[in-house]
Homo-oligomer: A and B are copies of this chain.
């Protein structure tokens, strides 16, 4: 039986799939379980998305592209940008898990074009700030963007042993991220 509101049902399915993939990854996710979470049949998932791989890509595109595009970069305030990135990762840990699964299970597929484009726009903004002398030219604009993102995601991407070295609250961790980026980009 087709749902009365297909768009609403698709959205419910994407949300259920996000939770399922964040927890179990691509190989570990089960279509029947996530369909049940969304209150529909497994058959409907195949009708809408084709299969598990296609569903993962739909979820990934949806959340990662949204996350990347809704946080505008201020290349003249990279420490502040890193702090905002950190806040977003703490607020939506399932997006970071999704990205980690994607890295492990889809390696070598070249990544998602929309993300690469958004990153290139950020690199251009950083290069401008370098030319204006407000950001260090010690690193290339590409490497600076990498360093900023990598520093902001420290607590999300490192192992429990590393991330648990210091028993900090959110404000203290955010302070370390912002200060490290300040040091890295100081002209």
Task: List residues of A whose CB falls within 8 A of some B CB.
Answer: 24-25, 27-28, 97, 99-105, 107-112, 115-116, 119, 123, 138-140, 142-143, 145-147, 149-151, 153-154, 157-166, 176, 179-180, 183-184
Q: How far is the CA of A108 from the CA of B151 in the complex (A)?
A: 22
| Nearest chain B CB to A126 CB, angstrom units | 11
Q: How far is the CA of A140 from the CA of B158 in the complex (A)?
A: 18
Establish whether residues B104 and A101, one from each chain, have CB atoms under 8 Å apart when the complex forms.
yes
Number of copies: 2
Establish whether residues B150 and A158, one from each chain, have CB atoms under 8 Å apart when the complex forms.
yes
Establish whether residues A146 and B160, one from each chain, have CB atoms under 8 Å apart when the complex forms.
no
Establish whether residues B154 and A146, one from each chain, have CB atoms under 8 Å apart when the complex forms.
yes
Q: Which residues from B are CB-within-8-Å of A158?
A: 103, 146, 149-150, 153, 157
Q: Which residues from B are CB-within-8-Å of A146?
A: 154, 158, 162-163, 165-166, 176
Closest to A143 in B: B176
Q: How far is the CA of A101 from the CA of B101 in the complex (A)?
A: 8
Q: Which residues from B are CB-within-8-Å of A28?
A: 25, 27-28, 105
Closest to A140 in B: B166
Establish whether residues A160 and B103, one from each chain, have CB atoms under 8 Å apart when the complex forms.
yes
Q: Which residues from B are CB-within-8-Å of A139?
A: 176, 179-180
Q: Among the listed B140, B147, B163, which residue makes an inter-chain contact with A180, where contact means beta carbons less than 8 Å apart?
A: B147
Q: Among the listed B25, B116, B143, B163, which residue makes an inter-chain contact with A25, where contact means beta carbons less than 8 Å apart?
A: B25
Q: Which residues from B are CB-within-8-Å of A147?
A: 151, 154, 176, 180
Other A-B pairs, 5, CB within 8 Å; known A28-B28, A116-B164, A145-B162: A119-B165, A146-B158, A149-B158, A180-B184, A184-B184
